[in-house]
Chain A
Amino acid sequence: MKPFEIVETPIETQKYSDYVLHAGAGAVTVFTGHVREWTHGIRTLYLAYEAYVPMAEKKLAQIGAEMEEKWPGVKVAIAHRIGEMHISDIAVVIAVSSPHRKAAYEANEYAIERIKEVVPIWKKEIWEDGEEWIGGQKKYPEKGSAEQ
């Protein structure tokens, strides 16, 4: 595995939590994002994700670097799956270790928010009566945002 990767096969979360664990870590948070059946009253049959893979992996690594700068001492691994996924499948895993729990929680939430802003990954929802590419980013990414 790579610590920041796009994968096409089911995500095994243990690999990522094992990767971030070390003797100095007192806390590990593992977030998994799953395919949800109902969104605003509409039933999803399955999702299809695609990514600009090389750039997406660079952006995931950039988010990891931002986290290490904001919360010194954290160690991070992030994987996002692409392709077709069904209800309850894991689309994304974020594993964060830190000496104390507060940073592990905070940094983990930061990661998923940044993924939704800057990582070139797209989700298509397929319903019983149609399909649509979803895209409602709150904030446009800026050039050189690694320095932010």
Chain B
Amino acid sequence: MIKVNYFARLRELTGKAEETIEQQSMTVTELLDWAEATYPGFGKDTVHVAVNEEYALKEDVIQSGDVCAFIPPVSGG
């Protein structure tokens, strides 16, 4: 089970702040593909993924129990 968090535009698009995915393991690319297929307009090419509060690479493997977050382009400051 993998937990994912949504913020900003993605929270509004999905209508939820978080959910869990019933997977034992998947790559960051697979997670982004799943998000794009599940939520049309997700914009996976502009979205980064954080795993356990650190930016992850596309080929990194997410394991059950990890906490992920989709990070659309940031705009703090």
Q: Which residues of A contact B (CB under 8 A)?
A: 33, 49-52, 54-56, 58, 80, 91-92, 112, 115-124, 133-137, 140-145
Residues from chain B with Cβ under 8 Å of A112 in the complex: 77
Nearest 9 Cβ contacts at the A-B interface:
A121-B76, A135-B73, A122-B8, A55-B53, A134-B75, A133-B9, A123-B75, A116-B77, A137-B73
Most-contacted residue by chain B among A80, A117, A133 (CB, 10 A): A133
Count residues on chain B whose CB falls below 8 Å from chain A CBs. 23
On whether the beta carbons of A52 and B5 are closer than 8 Å, the reply is yes
Q: Which residues of B contact A (CB under 8 A)?
A: 5, 7-9, 11-12, 46, 48, 50, 53-57, 60, 69, 71-77
| Closest A residue, CB atoms, query B57 | A143
Residues from chain A with Cβ under 8 Å of B46 in the complex: 135
On whether the beta carbons of A117 and B53 are closer than 8 Å, the reply is no
CA distance A91 to B56 in the complex (A): 28
